[in-house]
Each structure stands twice: as structure tokens, then as C-alpha cells.
Amino acid sequence: MRKNSLFFLGAAAGTCLTLLVTGPQGAQLIAAAKAAASTNTYSQLNLFGDVFERVRADYVEKPDDTRLVEGAINGMVTALDPHSRYMNEKAWRDMQETTHGEFGGLGIEVMMEKGLIKVVAPMDDTPAAKAGIMSGDLITHINNEAVQGLTLEQAVNKMKGPINTKTRLKIMRKGTESPIDISIVREVIRVRPVSYHMDGGDIGYIRITSFNEQTTDGLRKAIGDISKQIPPDKLAGYVVDLRNNPGGLLDQAVSVSGAFMARGEVVSTRGRTPEETQRFTARTGDLTKGKPLVVLINGGSASASEIVAGALHDHKRATLIGTRSFGKGSVQTIIPLGAGNGALALTTARYFTPSGRSIQAMGIRPDIEVLQDVPDELKARSETKGEASMRGHLSAEGAEQTGSQSYVPPAEKDDKALGAAYKLLRGVTVNADVPSTSKTAVPN
């Protein structure tokens, strides 16, 4: 902690270096500033210790020390940004189960917003999706207990449980005056991140719902099966559907991108110092052998989805169709804290596309914007506000964008974005804004 404080103030002093060192006492002034910073930091830590001891000694009931410490850590970390968080040992184990791709629960991706649990997206073919849970819903109560005051992990744990047992949710939905009560029966959630089928005997459709440990293997199988069933001379191309995909593991985003690229940078991450910059490149080789590619995105496409869309777009490998993506362009590093202590998910960097564009609070803009026809009863909740609307989010390196439409029709025949993708791959002009293949590609 002392090292970080000194670094921060040293950098601040450096901006005024010419003023501080012009006089004979410049060096002494810098040293004094550093010493003052260190003293102030330890003074604040002493204050925390004083409050901790006073609570232990004088609170109306004897508090649990573990809960006090966890609460203090949660308060510190959640004050940083919406995505940094502390996970105790149980929450850490639950997260590992989720990224592995199998767990018991309802099947919804959630995040914390203003003390409530916000649904990012329901997973396909899960109890939550079947019950009508939608992106943007705010969960206010779980089994009649208010979520206000709970951490994200605590709320998620309450929604998990033995299969064939019920979870009662009370949700607030934009455009609906009264809260909605929904009862959902828990099931074993086996996240199958990739599904696919053929359309018209000439196009392969691949839907990626999340980026967990099984995603790249599922994608390879999908491409392999499609290429076997459609002869190369008849295969017009592929549609990769990333709509309402909330993201997941960075390494999976890189390998998925690499499955459609011969070579080149996929994404870079930049932290506080230039030395912390990392670049991730495609290694798999283009499994589709250069076939045309369309990627579908919308307001619910976040994080890893935006990395894939941004990489394929910047390399002129794919045309993007849909609406602007969510804009979650920050990296959370998982830091295990030792046996029994859980882990810290800490925002450590920002994502940048191969051309150097930041995703944070701006999102990825499609080449062809296609708005869906939304039923009247759903119009009030058909948009996702996006990262820029979240309290405490990291600022954008440009004009912030506040989200876009996230509705996807349940029937393919009503899906205007998917229809546009099929038309484009079959040579039908969809929009004059389709990027020309003569544009200069990103250097490899």
C-alpha cells in the first residue's frame, strides 16, 4: 500500500517537476511531499483500526469479526467501480463452477446496480428464460428477502440451491407500474455456450451465449460440422450471433477470435503504466478458410463479446450488424488471496481493439444498424442502458454512449438483424454503409 501511494504522488509531483526543482530546495520539497503522503496513508489506516475496535466493543450486539472484515473489504473494493469485487471462499468456489460451465440455479447473468441486482441477460433455454426474465429487469427481492444491502455474491448464492426447489423473485420492470412476482424452479444449469444450425443449405449460423472454458471447443465443433454438411462451393459464409452475450473469460475471447483470423492482434490491455500493456494475438488459424463472416451484436453484447466483434471488425474480417454494444471495456484480474480467504476480482486495465479504440463506456458500433420491431408491451424494456449509465464506471476515452436496443425476437422469421445477415451473405445489398473490402486492414 505504501509503495502504491508513493508512486501515485510521485507521478503527480512529476507534472510540476520544473517548478519544484528550480529552487535550491526542490529535492527537499519532493521528499517532504512523499513523506507527507505516507504519513497520511497510515493515519487513515489508524482511523479504520479505531472504528473497527469501537464497533467490536460498543455495538449493541457482539458482531462477527469475519463479517466485519468482509464488509470493510467489500466497501473498499465496490467503491472503485461497478466490476471490482471481493469474493469469500464460497463465492470464489461458485465462480469457478460458473466459468467451468455447470452449476445449479436459474440461468441468468446479473450485475449490481444502485444496490439492486440487474439482469444482464437470461441464458438460452434455462428456467429464467422460460419464466420470461428479460435483460434490464431489476431484482428487488429473493425469496421475500430484500437484496438491498447484499453483495452481488450473496444475492447470487440465494438464487442457487438444490434442483427442483423454487426460488421466488420480485422484479421491477421499466414501463410496469407494479412489481412482478415470479416463481422459478431451479435446475442444473449446464451452460452450452455454442449452438448452431444451417440455413438454406448455404449458410452456417453459430450462436455463442457466453465465454466459458467450453466455448472454443464448442465453436470448433460447430465449424467442423457445418463445413462437413455444406460443400465449400455452396457455403456462402457464417453468421456468428453474439447478441445478449455478457462475456466471460479473456482467453476464450482471444481463441474464438483466432478461429476466424489467419493472424494478427486480437486485443490489447493497458493498465496504469506502459509496462503493464499486454497484447494478445490469434494463434489458431482461420478455421473457416476465409469464408465471409457476419457478426450480430446488440446492447446486451458485453466484454468478451465486444473483444471478438472489435477484433474481427478492425481486421476487416467481419461485417457487424445490429445495434451498439454494451461498452464494458475493463479487465478484471482474479487474484486468489490464499487458502480460505477467497479471491479479489480487481479492475486492472482497459481493453483496446487492434486499431487502438477503447471499448469502455463507448461500445462497438455496427457497420449496419438494424432495429427490431418490438411488441408494444415490451417497448419500455427493449433497451439496455450500457456501461456509461452505471454509477462509478471508468470514464470513456471519448464521447460516452449510453447503450442501445437489446431485444431479439424469439422467432427467426421476425429477426430483422438475422435476416439482414442472411441477405448480405447471399449477395443482397442491405445498406450502403457496408464497409468496402478495399479499406486498409489493421497491420499484422
What pLDDT was estimated at residue 21?
Answer: 35
Find the Cα–Cα–Cα–Cα dihedral 262, 264, 268, 273, rounded to 10°. 150
75 compared with 114, residue with greater pLDDT: 75
Contact partners, residue 245, CB within 8 Å, separation at least 6: 121, 208, 209, 210, 211, 300, 301, 302, 304, 305
d(CA 442, CA 444): 6
Instruction: Provide mean pLDDT across the span 266-293.
Output: 93
What pLDDT was estimated at residue 154?
Answer: 85
Q: What is the pTM of this model?
A: 0.72
Query: Residue 93 — very low, low, confident or very high, per pLDDT cuts 50/70/90?
Result: confident
What pLDDT was estimated at residue 10?
Answer: 27
Question: Distance of CA 76 to CAs 51, 64, 86, 346, Å?
Answer: 15, 19, 9, 11
Instruction: Provide mean pLDDT across the span 389-399.
Output: 88
Cell numbers for 245: 452475450
Instruction: Provide mean pLDDT across the span 156-174.
Output: 88
What pLDDT was estimated at residue 312?
Answer: 98
What pLDDT was estimated at residue 115?
Answer: 78
Which residues are identified as catalytic? 303, 314, 328
pLDDT > 60? residue 91: yes
Q: Indicate the helix (H) or strand (E) that contains 104.
A: strand 102-105
SS3 (DSSP) at 164: coil
d(CA 385, CA 275): 34
What is the Cα 171 distance to its own chain's centre?
A: 22
- The tens digit of pLDDT for each residue in 291-304 reads 999 999 999 999 99
Query: Residue 102 — very low, low, confident or very high, per pLDDT cuts 50/70/90?
Result: low
What pLDDT was estimated at residue 105?
Answer: 83
SS3 (DSSP) at 166: strand
pLDDT > 90? residue 310: yes
233 compared with 151, residue with greater pLDDT: 233
> For residue 99, is it left (φ>0), alpha (ψ between -120 and 50) or beta?
alpha
Instruction: Provide mean pLDDT across the span 213-225.
Output: 96
SS3 (DSSP) at 351: strand
Find the Cα–Cα–Cα–Cα dihedral 50, 51, 56, 61, rounded to 10°. 150
- Mean pLDDT over each residue of the chain, to the nearest integer: 85
pLDDT > 70? residue 75: yes
Lowest mean per-residue pLDDT among 190-194, 319-323, 352-356: 190-194
Q: Specify the residue for cell string 451473405.
A: 425
Query: Residue 49 — very low, low, confident or very high, per pLDDT cuts 50/70/90?
Result: very high
